[in-house]
Amino acid sequence: MDTKNLSGKVAVITGAASGIGRATALAMASRGADIAICDIDEPGLKETAESIEKIGRRVTSARVDVAVQDDLRAFADQVDASFGRVDIVVNNAGIGVGGLFVDVPLDEWDRIVGINLKGVAYGCHVFVPRMIAAGNGGHVVNIASMAGFCQAPGMTAYCATKFGVVGLSESLRIELAEHRIGVTAICPGVINTAIVRTGRNYGPLATDERREQGARAFERRNYGPERVAEGILKAIAKNRGLAPVSPEAWTGYWAKRLFPWLVGLVGRMGMRSLR
Ligand code: NAD
């Protein structure tokens, strides 16, 4: 799909009240798309919607918890009623959970799998059949992470969901090719967004000091969500199956393929700081 000019196209973005989702909604609106956005954060969603209107594009928005199937079904109906078509779906909504495996309660596993993995599956399930029926082709973008191909101690639950998103996306890509619908798993590295402050942590990681350290590291890295949005547009244009975004994500991608032992070694070194 030509992403330089998206006029006449409709893009759906989940988790668009903040960070990568908001930046992607604005980038797609700037290129001419009409936008459907959802999130659980209603004030943030309103801000994103106002920014889209300022760009001069049409927008529809809804409070949606992506872990709730009925919320997403109702949202898909709303998008149909507002625009009558869907060309791009970005399943972006996600949360972070930090902590050693033994410290993270199973309820937290249910929560993160519900949002980060099932939320992506539900998003695909409600929109893809409509895209197939419309016969216009299109693109599904699922936001994974470099933690979708590199293991990371202290992030077992998060890694499990993001490896899952990569597997879902790569398999779905084959199934949808005959409908001219591309599927991309986007794998960002360390992106300076709210997620580092809003994620829940457990065990030795659950201190204010650790949270501050993490947040400062993300700020120092200073790689903004707008750059991920550009990466998403490029990946759609080139119909990439898996797209690392940021130098650290590309390094992890090649290291995992060429020197998998090295990724394990870095993980073991990281483990020391988690005890
Ligand atoms: P963010 O916290 O700025 O944005 C996430 C958005 O998702 C928020 O607006 C939040 O309200 C929304 N959300 C959370 N739970 C939801 C739910 N149940 N239903 C609907 N919306 C929900 O964080 P971000 O960094 O922009 O994260 C976006 C995606 O990028 C996530 O999937 C995240 O895992 C992924 N990612 C982030 C990074 C990073 O370093 N920031 C790296 C790799 C991948």
- Whichever domain contains 194, its CATH number is 3.40.50.720
- pLDDT band, residue 274 (cuts 50/70/90): confident
* Angle between helices 156-176 and 119-134 in degrees, nearest 10: 10
In which band, very low, low, confident or very high, does the pLDDT at 29 lie, cut at 50, 70 and 90? very high
Q: What digits encode the pLDDT tens for the residues 141-154?
A: 999 999 999 999 99
Residue 127 lies in a domain: yes
Residue 129 is assigned to a structural domain of this protein: yes
Yes or no: say if 94 and 195 are a contact pair by the CB < 8 Å rule.
yes
The Cα–Cα gap between 49 and 226 comes to 17
For the chain, how many structural domains are there in total? Answer: 1
Of 129, 140, 244, the closest CA to residue 186 belongs to 244
Amino acid code (one letter) for 67: A
Query: Can you tell me the distance from the alpha carbon of 10 to that of 28, in angstroms, rounded to the nearest whole number?
Result: 9
* Average pLDDT of the residues in 98-114: 97
Q: Is ligand 1 within 6 A of the CB of residue 65?
A: yes
Q: Helix (H, G, I), strand (E, B), or coil: what is residue 140?
A: strand
- The rounded Å distance from CA 261 to ligand 1 centre is 30
Confidence check: pLDDT of 275 > 90: no
Mark whether 253 is an active-site residue: no
Strand 97-98 to 242-245 pairing: unpaired
CA 135–ligand 1 middle distance (angstroms):
30
Q: Which tokens sit at 167?
A: 């597997």
| Residue 47 beta carbon below 6 angstroms from any ligand 1 atom | no
The mean pLDDT value for 163-169 works out to 98
Is residue 101 in a domain? yes
CA of 12 to the centre of ligand 1 (A): 15
**pLDDT(167) > 90:** yes
**What DSSP element (H or E) covers 186?**
strand 181-188
164 lines ligand 1 (CB under 6 A): no
Has residue 195 been placed in a domain? Answer: yes
Domain range enclosing 66: 10-268
Which residue carries 């908001």 as its tokens? Answer: 22
Residue of minimum CA distance from atom 17 in ligand 1 = 65
Q: What is the pTM of this model?
A: 0.98
Pick the atom of ligand 1 nearest to 188's CA: 43
Rounded CA-CA distance 81/60 in Å is 10
Is 39 near ligand 1, meaning CB less than 6 Å away? yes
Nearest to 101 by CA among 154, 159, 149, 162: 154
Note whether residue 59 is domain-resident: yes
